[in-house]
Structure 1
Amino acid sequence: MKNFTIYLVILVFLFVSKVLGQETFESRAKQIANKIEKVTKEEKQALKEEIEAVNVQFSEGKITQEQADKRKKELAEARAVIIEEKVTLAQNELNDLVQQKVDGKIKEGDSISKHTLIIHWNDKDWSGKKRSKDSIHGEKRTTSQFVFAMGLNNTMIDGKLQDSRYSFIGSHFYEWGFTYNSRLMKNDNLLHAKYGLSVMYNNIRPTDNRSFVVDGNQTNLEVNAINMDESRFRNVYIVLPVHLEFDFTRPKESNGKTYFRTHKSFRFGIGGYAGINVKSKQILKFEEEDLKYKTTIKGDYNVNNFIYGLSSYVGYKEMSLYLKYDLNPLFQDNLIDENNISLGLRFDLN
């Protein structure tokens, strides 16, 4: 819940900063966002190299397949912890920045660039920028966005929502990441390729005082011996999402030139995602003899190591309704396949 609150603060902060147009405020936030992106990319690359080294050991016969799989899982979990620690440091910087804004330490005048030299002579601007207020600036063909999404999460069995097995309101997902948006046609703004890197958190809360218990290669829901205040099952994934986006933003014309922009009108995207599971854990809270307990149990829970699915969104400007569905089941070998499904709000912030 702590991380969820932090990500929500990030979302609110970025939205407010865009509305108020505080350039320095936004640029400092973007630096922090870039730091998070850099950490994620570096750790992912390091994980890739470590897994390749394990594959080499296996191919040379130095370790068994079981040892290789176990080692890969350990490496992925270790990298996930490193990412979480480094991202937490960046989030603390962001919290300080937000607090400075709330305390009024970042003034209105701070939004002006401090390192730009502008000389006016006979109404000329020697900074290389036009002074006209009506000038139109087009976007680059490829732009980048910070993505944040949150909403309801559950599973489906044979096409039926399992809202009786898992709390409908209490089960949620959230996702954050970075995407690139590339206009596909030179002289038309409709079609865009949207691709990037995201971290997904899928949570389900079993109903009727139940929790997950591993029995060999099966992971079953069983009733707890004591009354639980909370039972939550969380899976964390690093994924590569790819969408074909239709953006109905109309181009602007000025002095006979056409300028293209994005995220200024209705848009929708359709595509999918694929990635790896980096963490699975179960969180149990209960009270006994006036003492409150919280237990976090980490393990693989027979969860699929990989994830892939379909996703789509439709919205206006930066906000959209977001739907994603896993094509592979949550658990590897369970007799009944459960597929994760999520519905919520998505924000793409330039």
Structure 2
Amino acid sequence: MKRLIFVTLFWGVMSTAMAFNSSPEERRDSIIILLGKKTRIAIQTTDKAELQALRNYDLNALVNRVIEIQEKTDARAGKDTSFVMNGDTVLVRDNQVTIKDTERGESTFSIRIGGKDGDVSSGDSTSNSQPRVYKRKRTSSEWYFDLGLDNYLTGDGKFPEQNLNYALRPLGSRYVAISHIYKTRIGGSRSPLSLTYGLEASFYNYMFDSNTRIEKGATSAEFVEVMDGANAKDLKKSKLTAIYASIPVMPVLQFGHSRRSFRFGVGGFVGYRLHSYSKIKDSDGKKDHETSNFYLNNVRYGVQALVGIRGIDLFFKYDLNPLFTEEHGPDLRSIAFGFRF
């Protein structure tokens, strides 16, 4: 019942956050010029100060040059054509004209010229529809898939010695997570800072390195050797799996606006255990599993970091609270690291 209440609250909080962030969009400043009833010119920019740059342009000359390009080139076919005016680069595609500041290497403002069919002409269109105004969303979202390794550290920050019965196989313990992450830009349209947050389902698979399995004892979690009569059974696999629902929150700095740019973030997370079980597989292929809480902490919280460049993201997570409840198991804190896709 407690688990159901938590999951309901979990989704409720995130639904509220999604509703709150579904509408904030940065509306560009724009000027719309109606030429008779047949042609419109829409001038769009990120802020009013940039509109002052229009004083440097002869709009007549600009429109005439665009018309020449439309008539003589393949601009109508979706191909880019460019020319230089007043030291700035003018890009033309279809009926979209973008003025690019050569010194700063970024767009200053764009001009959309068109009638019913977006033609640069005084055609016979009688449409009074407004030109499309493009907006850049302040909040966006994406699905992510995390794949990596997990382990745990002792209370003094070291890996357990391999002779201990709860030591893990370093390459056999796997971490998998699926998340839906929202990204809200903090500041203006050129700000590199964003706040990311969302929902995550994470799967920790702790693969033991010895012929032991975890069991829930009378007072604590126990790591016992699996026996076959008087002899120890040879196990191909023995693991503990714990599944959590989590809310990650992390400020991220991204220097650029594409997936090829460098990004870095440090934040935290809080989660709740949804399910846990142990599983063993012997050398004959026989399997056995047991479902229990194994005295695991229901709530987990910790810190996380992300670094990425050129479409490759690396993540790291560290639990600040112990894996097991106090005095009901060894003092261990989970870590996970790997790639985000």
Q: TM-score range by the shorter chain?
A: 0.5 to 0.7
Q: Distance in 2 between matches of 1:240 and 1:276?
A: 9
Q: Distance in 1 between matches of 2:187 and 2:117?
A: 39
The equivalent residue for 1:99 is none
The equivalent residue for 1:147 is 144
Contact in 2 for aligned 1:240/1:273 (Cα 8 Å)? yes
Partner residue of 1:327 out of 315, 320, 324: 320
Q: Distance in 2 between matches of 1:188 and 1:121?
A: 30
Q: Distance in 2 between matches of 1:177 and 1:248?
A: 23
Residue 334 of structure 2 aligns with an amino acid whose one-letter code is: N
Counting aligned pairs with the same residue, the percent is: 27
The equivalent residue for 2:7 is 44
The equivalent residue for 1:268 is 264
Q: Distance in 1 between matches of 2:10 and 2:314?
A: 33
The equivalent residue for 1:299 is 292
2:8 is paired with a residue of what secondary structure? Answer: helix
Contact in 2 for aligned 1:308/1:328 (Cα 8 Å)? yes
- The answer to whether structure 1 residue 171 and structure 2 residue 169 are counterparts is no
Task: Spell out the pairing of 1:1-350 with structure 2 (5 A cutoff).
Answer: 44-45=7-8, 120=117, 122=119, 139-157=136-154, 158-162=156-160, 164=162, 165-225=167-227, 226-249=233-256, 261=257, 263-287=259-283, 292-333=285-326, 334=328, 336-347=330-341
Deviation at 1:233, TM superposition (A): 0.8
Contact in 1 for aligned 2:295/2:324 (Cα 8 Å)? yes
Residue 296 of structure 2 aligns with an amino acid whose one-letter code is: V
RMSD (CA atoms) = 3.1
Cα 1:278–1:42 change in 2 (3 A) is closer
Deviation at 1:264, TM superposition (A): 4.0
Deviation at 1:140, TM superposition (A): 1.0
Contact in 2 for aligned 1:154/1:162 (Cα 8 Å)? no
Residue 337 of structure 2 aligns with an amino acid whose one-letter code is: L
Q: Distance in 2 between matches of 1:170 and 1:128?
A: 60
Deviation at 1:145, TM superposition (A): 1.1
Gaps of 5+ in 2: 13-115, 228-232
Q: Distance in 2 between matches of 1:231 and 1:204?
A: 8
Deviation at 1:287, TM superposition (A): 4.1
Q: Distance in 2 between matches of 1:180 and 1:163?
A: 40
Q: Deviations over 1:35-92 (max 9, x none)?
A: xxxxxx999327889xxxxxxxxxxxxxxxxxxxxxxxxxxxxxxxxxxxxxxxxxxx
Return the TM-score normalized by structure 1.
0.57
Q: Distance in 1 between matches of 2:131 and 2:7?
A: 40
Deviation at 1:269, TM superposition (A): 0.8
Q: Which has the higher contact order (CA 8 A, sep 6+)?
A: 1
Cα 1:42–1:298 change in 2 (3 A) is closer
Cα 1:279–1:42 change in 2 (3 A) is closer
Q: How many residues align?
A: 220
Contact in 1 for aligned 2:195/2:251 (Cα 8 Å)? yes
Return the TM-score normalized by structure 2.
0.58
Q: Distance in 2 between matches of 1:178 and 1:146?
A: 5
Deviation at 1:122, TM superposition (A): 4.5
Cα 1:47–1:263 change in 2 (3 A) is closer
Deviation at 1:246, TM superposition (A): 0.6
Q: Distance in 2 between matches of 1:185 and 1:47?
A: 28
2:271 is paired with a residue of what secondary structure? Answer: strand
Deviation at 1:316, TM superposition (A): 1.1
Residue 343 of structure 1 aligns with an amino acid whose one-letter code is: F
Q: Distance in 2 between matches of 1:282 and 1:122?
A: 67
2:247 is paired with a residue of what secondary structure? Answer: strand
Q: Distance in 2 between matches of 1:170 and 1:182?
A: 36
Gaps of 5+ in 1: 1-40, 50-118, 131-136, 250-260
Contact in 2 for aligned 1:205/1:232 (Cα 8 Å)? yes
